[in-house]
Amino acid sequence: MRKDDNFYMELALEEAYKAYQIGEVPVGAVLVNEDGEVVGRGYNRTIIDNDPTSHAEVVAMRNAGIAMNNYRLVNLDLYVTLEPCMMCCGAIIHARLRKVIFGAYDKKTGACGSVFDLITDPKHNHKVTCLSGILEQECSSLLSEFFKNRRKCKKEGIDWQEECLKTRSSLKKI
């Protein structure tokens, strides 16, 4: 049975906490089918994977593709804690996702309306709908806390990734 958007965004936030705990930018994503089943999960892994494409959205799509044995992810909805960038929007369109639901707006690289509106450009051969601002405060707060701690560590000469590992038990639980 399908649950509400807040439920799935909380699952995406759980993925984002995993990224935070390993010193990655805390972005998480889940892919949900029409029956409400989560078929893919992901969190940012760019540093740990040494892969600039390992954004939460792409990792979740890779996992869903493996689970479904198909690169076309038709009729899936993506819940992600941060507005997707241009790279992720391109992958979303190619995968044929149905809908993107995001929490926090990305005022620097957002491609779902904040900076660019790539996701809904009418020139694309596939139309993706977009819904924004779901649990926006929770998603934004996690990112703000992460970057505040990262700047503090940098200022004090502390390895911020190591500090994330030390302080992971103090992270709030959903």
Q: Is the pLDDT of residue 9 over 70?
A: yes
- CATH number for the domain spanning 15: value is 3.40.140.10
Q: Mean pLDDT of all residues in the chain?
A: 91
Q: Is the pLDDT of residue 38 over 60?
A: yes
Q: Which domain holds residue 68?
A: 5-169
- 96 domain residue, yes or no: yes
Task: Spell 86-96 as b/e; 16+ CB within 10 A means b.
Answer: ebbbebbbebb
- 71 domain residue, yes or no: yes
- 48 domain residue, yes or no: yes
- 116 domain residue, yes or no: yes
- Say whether 14 is catalytic: no
Q: How high is the pLDDT of residue 174?
A: 36
- 78 domain residue, yes or no: yes
> Which one has a higher pLDDT value, 160 or 13?
13
List the catalytic residue out of 10, 15, 24, 57. 57
- 50 domain residue, yes or no: yes
Q: How high is the pLDDT of residue 167?
A: 57
Note the pTM of the prediction, 2 decimals.
0.90
- 85 domain residue, yes or no: yes
Number of domains the chain is built from: 1
The predicted-structure confidence for 64-116, as pLDDT tens digits, reads as follows 999 999 999 999 999 999 999 999 999 999 999 999 999 999 999 999 999 99
Q: Is the pLDDT of residue 45 over 70?
A: yes
- 174 domain residue, yes or no: no
Cα 75 to Cα 22, 92, 94, 140, 164: the distances in Å are: 32, 12, 13, 27, 36
Q: What is the DSSP letter of 172?
A: P
Dist CA 99 CA 89 (whole Å): 11
> Which one has a higher pLDDT value, 155 or 117?
117
Q: Is the pLDDT of residue 173 over 50?
A: no
Assess contact for 117 and 142: CB atoms under 8 A.
Answer: no
